[in-house]
A = this chain, B = another copy of it.
């Protein structure tokens, strides 16, 4: 990833300025979150991190169609909840922006959405083994992790959430949960801030890999109880800035800061 350090400048020239009036701190969180998930392999060349617009709850902020490791603040565009760009200026947009728009519409508490093809979760999306909380950091999984299969409502598709109807089906299956797996595709995590949605994307991947290892050891696995999970997840809000500060300091040099 050291090789990515010099890219920020070259990319920054391509798109115009970020959306007017968008809080620079939120834009930075989207940039840091996109790049740190790429650094950890939770995202590869695909996937995306978005934020609800801080002052217009019917809009959201997401990069133009670009690999997450390359995103800068200047690449971030503004969309309405139908997935229409407010001011496209010729930039290409993500095919799956409907994941974000429909979840923001269905879940007023959600301020950020992350979509990944994380290697940990893909096996859990195609088997019957439920993803469950292995330890306190991924305690948010204790609420239950639904698996959404696009084939159930839409038959044989290209697997993408490529319109509002499919986005609504996904948002409906997510319900009030923080994480959903997508069969043959990846996952979506949501949260009350970009930091927390990114934290959940990271620890969902970590948990999945550890759960697979525990299952391979054989015998019963002693997961967090629902009550433990609920209590432990409250602590994640207390300690979130500690790990976010680490991630931010790891990414800033890529941005020439």
Contact = CB atoms under 8 A, between A and B. Distances in A.
B137 A220 contact: no
A249 interface: yes
A253 B6 contact: yes
Contact of A235 (B136, B158, B212): B158
A136 B151 contact: no
B136 A160 contact: yes
A172 B66 CA distance: 39
A113 to B, nearest CB: 19
A69 to B, nearest CB: 6
A95 interface: yes
A239 B46 contact: yes
How many copies make up the complex? 4
B243 A4 contact: no
A2 B125 CA distance: 34
Interface in A133-174: 133-137, 139, 149, 151, 156-160
A238 B183 CA distance: 21
B3 A137 contact: no
A4 B1 CA distance: 12
B3 A3 contact: no
Given A158-B234, A210-B119, A218-B215, A243 B46 contact: yes
A7 B134 contact: no
A224 B74 CA distance: 37
Contact of A222 (B126, B157, B223): B126
A38 to B, nearest CB: 9
A126 B214 contact: yes
Contacts of A238: 95
Contacts of A84: none
Which 8 A-B pairs rank lowest in CB-CB distance, beginning with the nearest? A45-B243, A67-B246, A156-B227, A123-B214, A158-B231, A136-B159, A123-B213, A126-B222
Given A127-B219, A128-B220, 8 more contacts: A3-B5, A66-B242, A70-B245, A95-B238, A117-B135, A124-B217, A126-B222, A136-B184
